Amino acid sequence: MKLLPQNFYKRDTLTVAKDLLGCIFVKEDFKTGLMQLGRIVETEAYTQNDPSCHAYRGKTKRSITLFKDPGLSYVYFTYGMYHCINIVTEPFDTAGAVLIRALEPIKNIENTNGPAKLCREMNITKEHNELKVFDKNSVIRVYQGVPPKEEDIVQTTRIGIKLAADYPWRFYDNSSKYVSKKIKCLSYNLPK
């Protein structure tokens, strides 16, 4: 497998969100040798001009990672019980990130059809914040994969947010049964 380079993430967030579909998400425990792999089948995009993004109000203790170099992991804790993992996008000092919403299991994982579920299944916590997912020595890495067929890619609104809930910034592979939630009408893809 070939690691995605850092420049892959140094692009428009919506483009990265779509292009991550089919890529291989890996977490490796170097102490135990346990390697967990899943194919990315659902993502959501967030940018600094998006009211639902943590960076919308600028640089804060919570959001500072989103303004750093592209290709870093951004792990946050939500609802007092769940972790979620994103990958920072855009050039340095321009906030953006892609939430990894669902993985299709490949090795040593099962229940990964939701952002909190995959973090729980892979034991991803705040200690995995700001890892270089493009570095072969990182615990969390992302590799090139086989993208879904264009007709299987659905672009629709995001899930579980109140602000900017109408933005069609969620992408998923409709051929996968591991997507967290599919829309009922698939006759069109919404514009960006």
Inside any domain, residue 179? no
Domain range enclosing 25: 6-173
Q: What are phi and psi of 173, to 5 degrees?
A: -95, 105
Inside any domain, residue 96? yes
Neighbour tally for 35: CB within 10 Å: 13
Inside any domain, residue 61? yes
Q: Which pair of tokens denotes residue 91?
A: 């050039």
Q: What are phi and psi of 119, to 5 degrees?
A: -65, -40
> Are the beta carbons of 41 and 115 closer than 8 angstroms?
no
pLDDT tens across the length of the chain (192 residues) = 899 999 999 999 999 999 999 999 999 999 999 999 999 999 999 999 987 888 878 788 888 999 999 999 999 998 668 999 999 999 999 999 999 999 999 999 999 999 999 999 999 999 999 999 999 999 999 999 999 999 999 999 998 888 888 889 999 999 999 999 887 544 444 444
What is the identity of the amino acid at 65?
T
CATH number of residue 54's parent domain: 3.10.300.10
Inside any domain, residue 191? no
Under 8 Å CB-to-CB from 100, ≥6 apart: which residues?
A: 20, 25, 40, 42, 43, 85, 86, 87, 115, 118
Inside any domain, residue 192? no
Inside any domain, residue 144? yes
Inside any domain, residue 148? yes
Number of separate domains in the chain: 1
